[in-house]
Amino acid sequence: MPNRGLLVAAALLALLVGGIFWSNREEAKKVGAPATDAPPKLLEIPEDQFVRITIKRRDGSGAVVERLPAGWKLVSPQALPVDGLAVQSLVTALALVASERLIDEKPGDLMQYGFASPSLEIVISRKDGKQHKLLLGEDSPLGTSVYAQVAGDPRLYTMATATRGALDKVWQDLRDRRVLTFYDAKLRTVELNTLAFTKNGDRWAMSRPQPWRADNFAVEDLVRKLAEAKMEIVPEDEEQAFPAKFAGAAPYAIAKVTDDQGTQQLEVRKDKEGAFYAKSTAVAGLFRLPADAVDSLGKKAEDFRDRKLFEFGFAEPARVQVKSGETAWDFTKTGAEWKFGGKKFDPGSVQQIVDKLRELSATGFAPVGAGKPAAEFTITPVGKPAETVTITEAGGKLFATRPGDPTVYELDRKVVDDLRQLAASAQALP
């Protein structure tokens, strides 16, 4: 029959389509499923379920942190604010704890693995009322892993020592170790010993000992160091000696910061061995600080003074004027074109002058700078007031001044000569 072959072909096609469908469905089930050889999970807890974490070490140290409506807080052994990042890292590490491998389904004697007195015991209390207890025993013979078990589950596992390191915390690891707690976005003034800085908009100005222009980057670096300064973690018995060490150390620096919440003060002293001890009005107690936390506190006024002569930064210039003796160049910009004396000039030539003015910096500061006029540089950014720097010469030295700025700046003669040369060699276009 001619239709018989057609029926057989249709039946085979149906079987093929069904086979492909079943195969695709089975493959879809495997998507996201753990590999068959994946190490077993010891714990898997949604992070939003964590409300309390209790850590107990074999030596009796540890910590208890609790999630309150306002956030996490250290509740034992002391009630203190926490380092939010440190606690979040701990929660993330506990939310999914993987083992290296399963050692035994039903081990007979757990004492040989260190569980008679666990090296680390972590209890997680959940929002839904459930509780989990993770127990760590001794290290494995090779020292690359540690024996682990979950209370209520007889199975014995090994866990990587790196995983243990993420979980093995004491209260000093979790507390907020900042010695100043100001909010830098609201900072108004910063004081360092005899220096004082005031913020106007996004720029800092020195108000003491003189109303000098401040190097914004240097002051911001000081603010950053003060905000990031953290006490060292030391054993409690060593910490008990800090009051005596602080009292016997020499004064090193006093820093004050004022934001919208008030003023905080940090007093730092340095002992004969080079260690730094501090006390703060923001945090109770005495602390030891690492050297890199205080390296900005030993700076002097000169380190914070702005040596750059122009403040236009990367603003688009609309006019550039260079005057040297009786010769003057006045470049104005229209659209993308630079013009001077009715001629168009190569934009790259004028840009070299702009770049040189942007980086024009003093080599030092002078008490006075009177002398004969030598040069004058003016740049006018688009939509902003013009900035002018006047150069004078006296005793073989060059000095610069700015309108309304009492500072007299010393300049390198070569830099001024280079600017004259760039203006004189600017290329006119045909």
- Residue-wise pLDDT for 298-322, tens only, equals 999 999 999 999 999 999 999 999 9
pLDDT at residue 108, as a whole number: 81
| Structure confidence at residue 13 (pLDDT) | 52
Residue 110 scores a pLDDT above 80: yes
- Res. 88: pLDDT tops 50: yes
Euclidean distance between the first and the last CA atom of the chain, given in angstroms as a whole number? 93
**pLDDT for 33 beyond 50:** no
pLDDT for 178 equals: 94
Residue 239 has pLDDT above 50, yes or no: yes
Question: Using 50, 70 and 90 to split pLDDT, how confident is the model at 186?
Answer: confident
CA distance 264 to 259: 9
Mean pLDDT of 29-36: 47
Q: Tell me, what amino acid is at 126?
A: R
What per-residue confidence (pLDDT) applies to 236?
A: 81
pLDDT for res 35 = 47
Give 135-140 contacts, CB < 8 A, sequence gap 24+: 136/164, 136/167, 136/168, 137/110, 137/113, 138/113, 138/114
Note the helical H segments in 181-333.
216-228, 236-239, 242-248, 301-304
Average pLDDT for residues 248-258, to the nearest whole number?
A: 97
Could you tell me if 428 and 345 are in contact, meaning their C-beta atoms sit under 8 angstroms apart? Answer: yes
One-letter amino acid of 324: S
Q: Residue type at 120?
A: L
Confidence band for 30, pLDDT divided at 50, 70 and 90 = very low
Backbone φ and ψ for 350, nearest 5 degrees, come out as -70, -35
Residue 23 is predicted with a pLDDT of 52
Phi, psi at 43, each rounded to 5°? -140, 145
Set out the domains of the chain in order of their start, with CATH numbers.
41-174 (2.60.40), 184-304 (no CATH), 317-424 (2.60.40)
In the block, tokens 């030993």 appear at 298
Round the average pLDDT of the chain to a whole number and report it: 90
> Among 44-48, 105-109, 410-414, where is mean pLDDT lowest?
105-109
> What pLDDT is stored for residue 2 in this prediction?
44
Model's pTM, two decimal places? 0.75
pLDDT value, residue 1: 41
Name the region of 191 (left: φ>0; alpha: ψ -120 to 50; beta: rest): beta
Range from 8-22, 325-339, 386-400 carrying the lowest mean pLDDT: 8-22
Residue 225 backbone dihedrals phi, psi, to 5 degrees = -65, -40
- Asked if 163 contacts 223 with a C-beta cutoff of 8 angstroms, the reply is no
| β-sheet with 131-139: strand ranges across | 80-81, 71-76, 62-68, 50-57, 120-126, 131-139, 145-150, 156-160, 101-104
What lies within 8 Å, CB to CB, of 130 at 6+ separation is: 49
Residue 12 has pLDDT above 90, yes or no: no
pLDDT digits (tens, 9 = 90+) for 112-135: 899 999 999 999 999 999 999 999
Average pLDDT (13-42) is 56
What is the three-state SS of 31-46?
CCCCCCCCCCEEEECC
Query: In terms of pLDDT, which residue wins out, 137 or 201?
Result: 137
Residue percentage of the chain with pLDDT more than 90: 80
Q: Cβ distance 82 to 74 under 8 Å?
A: yes
Nearest CA among 54, 187, 207 for reference residue 118? 54
User: Which pLDDT belongs to residue 14?
Assistant: 55
Tell me what pLDDT residue 184 has.
81
Cβ–Cβ under 8 Å, residues 394 and 403: no
pLDDT of amino acid 34:
47
Q: Which strands form 250-259's sheet, in the order they lie side by side?
A: 203-208, 195-200, 189-192, 250-259, 262-270, 276-280, 286-289
From 383, 385, 313, select the one nearest 355 (Cα to Cα): 313
Strand order across the 405-411 sheet: 343-345, 337-340, 327-334, 317-324, 372-381, 387-394, 397-402, 405-411, 364-366
The C-alpha angle with vertex 354 and arms to 353 and 355, in degrees rounded to 5, equals 90
Model confidence at 166, pLDDT cuts 50, 70, 90, reads: very high
Residue 278 has pLDDT above 70, yes or no: yes
